[in-house]
Structure 1
Amino acid sequence: MLFNSLDFAVFLPIVFVLYWFVFKNQLKAQNILIVIASYIFYGWWDWRFLSLIAFSTIVDFFIGRKLSNESNSNNRKLLLWTSIFVNLGFLGFFKYYNFFLDNFITAFSFFGNEIKANSLNIILPVGISFYTFQTLSYTIDVYRKKLKPTSDFFAFTAFVSFFPQLVAGPIERATNLLPQFYKKRTFDYRSSIDGLRQILWGLFKKIVIADNCAVYANLIFNNSDDYSGSTLILGAIFFTFQIYGDFSGYSDIAIGTSRLFGFDLKQNFAFPYFSRNIAEFWRRWHISLSSWFKDYVYIPLGGSRGGILKKIKNTFIIFVVSGFWHGANWTFIIWGALNAIYFLPLLLTNRNRNYIEIVANNKFFPNFKEIIQMLVTFSLTILAWIFFRANNVGHAFSILEEVFSKSTLSIPSFEGFTKSMIIILMIFFFISVEWLGRRGKFALEKIYVVKFRFIRWSFYLLLVIIIIIFGASQQDFIYFQF
């Protein structure tokens, strides 16, 4: 079920009314309702894959219970590795089986040996990368004794399958979200209004920015041989805003929807395109995934402790694994490695923690140095996104070859170029609102400082009208494929 669909527009109010009016003050009933609603939400796409999430839930629930009663270190490790094997086994089969098979065949063919093997027509279950990491975080934290295992099966099932963030995050830690299912929840009007604002802004990001940028990004990338370097750069810029509007828009809708039901999810994006270096960008982009890899992969490997070679190795591992998490294609691996190359100079010179606060935090405009830093960081990000979006490695390099040619000095031109100017204006409007709201957790969070209610409601109405006008180019969420 898509957030930007009529189905969800009907589904959400029904669940909301049942939750707050029919099952008010009945904690267990509310949790069971969330489980039922979440399974309907997920099964709307393909009910067959409900068995995967159910099996993963059951395995990790009982392993968590078993870990609480097990003192033998070897047995505890066995339980932990059972959880890891089950969860990553499912993820590996559905997401990476054909990738490894194809590369295995290619490797042997290189040495003159032919192996005949058939690829499988495997459908990737939506959201498997997200809920797999969410359940793994629970088992690992219980194993590390950072979290007491739950004995409430319905609360745990609701945590794993919580429908607002089930399909594309944020990837919630059990330490944050699971305890919220134990506590009585009361309706908070102000929090709900904030949630509606965040949903509205998320829909604007998705429907107006992401979906319309997708039209031109797809046109240019899918016909890249026909276009000049300047046009390809414009296509990469369209994709840069497409993926940000799409994914951060999903996160905003998920977080806002959760607030309607009395839950607080972690911020997943913190205005990453205003970053002054790549390290700051990665602290602000897909925060839940970056922090997951940091806590469960990077730090256990030794983090930034040790010599230079160890720092380089661990940095490349974390970025390459992050790239591979996104998809079974060498383009994602190169995308991750390229970001590691960007990041390493900052790490090795101890400048990776330079910019913690948002740019121009106490000013309206950034200074000249900050403008240059943001432009350089944004340009490096666009370059990396070319690999992310390209069909394959050869496609990416052919685009880059044209980008770094004389044709980049020409005026961009493609079918629909004039019409795309409207979307470019919308991007500037979007950037302006994000800049004004960059001190909040989402762009409209601080809009209440505008004292006149008429102005605030006029702005909301304007967003709704724009969403309706630009709502024709409906696209699936990009991260559904991850």
Structure 2
Amino acid sequence: MIFSSLFFIFIFLPLVLVAYYLVPRKFKNLCLVLFSLVFYAWGEPIYVLLMIFTILVDYACGLCVARFIDRRGKAKLFITINIVINLALLGFFKYAGMLVGTFDAVTGLGLSIPEVALPIGISFYTFESMSYAIDVYRREAPAMRNIIDFAAYLSFFPHLVAGPIVRYEALQAQVLNRRETLEKFTEGTKRFLTGLFKKVLIADNLAILAERVQYLGTPSTLTAWMGILAFTFQIYFDFSGYSDMAIGLGKMFGFELPENFDHPYVSQSVSEFWRRWHMTLGGWFREYVYIPLGGNRKGRLCTVRNLAIVWVLTGMWHGASWNFAFWGAYYAVLIILEKLFLQKKVLDKIPAFFRWLYSFLAAAIGWLFFSYTDIGQAFSVLASMFGFAPEGATSLGLYALLTYGLLMLIAALCSGPLARNLFEKLRNAGTAGKVAWALGVAGLFIITLSFLVNSSYSPFLYAKF
């Protein structure tokens, strides 16, 4: 089940809202757990058992860590058990096929490559589950004594499938003590609709062009640029749209989920881009990997090592294919170079426009390696982008420019703060402004519904990670 579906919008969400607001306070978390498990089981019923297993294991490990909190040796043992079990599950379901396939390609043994279906959202809830025991061990939050409360934290359906990745320490108090208000609900509805519009009206339409260019093999120069720009905006509006919907849904139930995007395409360095893109993932790696490794406190060489480790892991987290490791290494090189000398000796001395252009092109090229699982093909498309297209390459670039040019321009404007600020000014511009804003939202909602009725199935890109 996805948020941008008619079933979710008109059946599932109204049912869970009615049930949630009707049950007494002491049963609200139980209500969320039951509906969240139904939500997760909707597409893959068997994997709800994996979710329940994860809840039971992490709950037990958290209690054991809390019990032996003053005996650090025993507490560390349960932390280790928790991390090993979670990473083993993630490794089996996500990387077994890739590792066996790679080993077979190197050795030529003709091994049978296992076909293991990837449970939806396992990368997201695995990181959240590990943060629970670690935060308890660090004394940053108490362990949950009630398993229903813990299950509500881990399985809460708005952030279950594709984040934001919420640290236990950040959500623990809200699980136990939150209040729903009309103001929160209204803001949540507005935020949900914002994400819905971004996903359906922009991301899904750009996906058609991005996928068509990928099927071409080696495109012409104009076609290659149109394809990668389409994907660059598609993945932003797809994932940030999901995050907006998740945050909006959280507000409807009284939760404040963390922000996940802050207009990354206005960045003026690659480092800034990653401070603005998928912020909760970056925060997780910083908190649980980079800082424990020593961060930047142990000299330049260790800092370079730590950044390289974090970024290769970040790449591999995104998918079971070597192109993701390459993509992570690509960003590791850029960020290390920025920290060593690019930022102070180059970027700080050139005009803002060129800093932005560098950052945006770096991101677009990064998405090229992200979207093509065949690294050789990705380099071929990269060559086409810079004028080395083969003779006779099929070109739909002019058609794409004429057909998608306006949508691409709208996407570019809406990827920065300008469009949001204009809408907010309109909403606050007296009665006439409020009426115009409301009519605009209603019109966009009607258009969105027409797309949902007529469009084919279009899942969130990050749901498969």
**Does TM, scored on the shorter chain, surpass 0.5?**
yes
- Out of 350, 362, 381, the residue aligned to residue 380 of structure 1 is 362
* 1:331 aligned partner: 323
Alignment of 1:107-122 (within 5 A): 107=106, 109=107, 114-122=108-116
| TM-aligned CA distance change 1:418 to 1:473, over 3 Å | farther
Query: Take 2:91 and 2:336, find their aligned partners in 1: how far apart are those partners?
Result: 29
| TM-aligned CA distance change 1:256 to 1:408, over 3 Å | farther
TM-score by length of 2: 0.92
8 Å Cα contact 1:207/1:473 also seen in 2: no
Query: Take 1:62 and 1:444, find their aligned partners in 2: how far apart are those partners?
Result: 48
1:477 partnered with 2:423: no
* 2:2 aligned partner: 2
* 2:124 aligned partner: 130
Query: Take 2:238 and 2:182, find their aligned partners in 1: how far apart are those partners?
Result: 28
| TM-aligned CA distance change 1:310 to 1:466, over 3 Å | same
SS in 2 for 1:164: helix
8 Å Cα contact 2:413/2:419 also seen in 1: no
Aligned residues: 456
Query: Take 1:221 and 1:473, find their aligned partners in 2: how far apart are those partners?
Result: 19
* 2:377 aligned partner: 395
* 1:361 aligned partner: none
Query: Take 1:194 and 1:427, find their aligned partners in 2: how far apart are those partners?
Result: 28
| Residue 90 (structure 1) shift | 0.5
Query: Take 2:456 and 2:198, find their aligned partners in 1: how far apart are those partners?
Result: 13
* 1:308 aligned partner: 300
* 1:153 aligned partner: 147
| TM-aligned CA distance change 1:374 to 1:473, over 3 Å | farther
8 Å Cα contact 1:170/1:266 also seen in 2: yes
SS in 2 for 1:475: coil
8 Å Cα contact 1:303/1:311 also seen in 2: yes
- Out of 370, 393, 398, the residue aligned to residue 352 of structure 2 is 370
* 1:45 aligned partner: 43
8 Å Cα contact 1:215/1:473 also seen in 2: no
* 1:91 aligned partner: 90
Deviation string for 1:306-349 (max 9, x for gaps)?
Answer: 23221211111111100000011111111111111111122224
Deviation string for 1:237-292 (max 9, x for gaps)?
Answer: 10101111111111011100111111100000111011111111001000010100
The structure with the largest helix share of the pair is: 2
8 Å Cα contact 1:202/1:251 also seen in 2: yes
Alignment of 1:55-74 (within 5 A): 55-70=53-68, 71-74=70-73
Deviation string for 1:157-178 (max 9, x for gaps)?
Answer: 0100000110000000111112
Query: Take 1:421 and 1:54, find their aligned partners in 2: how far apart are those partners?
Result: 50
8 Å Cα contact 2:428/2:434 also seen in 1: no
Query: Take 2:322 and 2:121, find their aligned partners in 1: how far apart are those partners?
Result: 21
| TM-aligned CA distance change 1:12 to 1:408, over 3 Å | farther
| TM-aligned CA distance change 1:445 to 1:266, over 3 Å | farther
* 2:287 aligned partner: 295
| TM-aligned CA distance change 1:184 to 1:401, over 3 Å | closer
* 2:386 aligned partner: 404
* 2:20 aligned partner: 19
1:241 partnered with 2:241: no
- Counterpart amino acid of residue 205 in structure 2: N
- Counterpart amino acid of residue 372 in structure 1: F
- Out of 245, 267, 272, the residue aligned to residue 264 of structure 2 is 272
8 Å Cα contact 2:58/2:129 also seen in 1: yes
Query: Take 2:374 and 2:448, find their aligned partners in 1: how far apart are those partners?
Result: 33
| TM-aligned CA distance change 1:304 to 1:287, over 3 Å | same
| Residue 152 (structure 1) shift | 1.6
8 Å Cα contact 1:224/1:232 also seen in 2: no
| Residue 143 (structure 1) shift | 1.3
* 1:220 aligned partner: 213
| Residue 423 (structure 1) shift | 3.7
- Out of 134, 141, 153, the residue aligned to residue 135 of structure 2 is 141
SS in 2 for 1:141: helix
| TM-aligned CA distance change 1:326 to 1:403, over 3 Å | same
- Give the gaps of 5 or more residues in structure 1: 356-367
8 Å Cα contact 2:66/2:143 also seen in 1: yes
- Counterpart amino acid of residue 381 in structure 1: A
Of stretches 227-236 and 246-255 in structure 1, the one that deviates more from structure 2 is 227-236
Of stretches 428-437 and 190-199 in structure 1, the one that deviates more from structure 2 is 428-437
Query: Take 2:357 and 2:392, find their aligned partners in 1: how far apart are those partners?
Result: 21
Computed over aligned residues only, the root mean square deviation of the Cα atoms, in angstroms, reads: 2.5
Query: Take 1:133 and 1:465, find their aligned partners in 2: how far apart are those partners?
Result: 37
- Counterpart amino acid of residue 246 in structure 1: D
* 1:363 aligned partner: none
Query: Take 1:433 and 1:393, find their aligned partners in 2: how far apart are those partners?
Result: 31
8 Å Cα contact 1:324/1:333 also seen in 2: yes
| Residue 145 (structure 1) shift | 1.6
8 Å Cα contact 1:230/1:411 also seen in 2: no
* 1:464 aligned partner: 445
SS in 2 for 1:224: coil
* 2:201 aligned partner: 208
| TM-aligned CA distance change 1:138 to 1:421, over 3 Å | farther
Query: Take 2:216 and 2:227, find their aligned partners in 1: how far apart are those partners?
Result: 11
SS in 2 for 1:268: coil
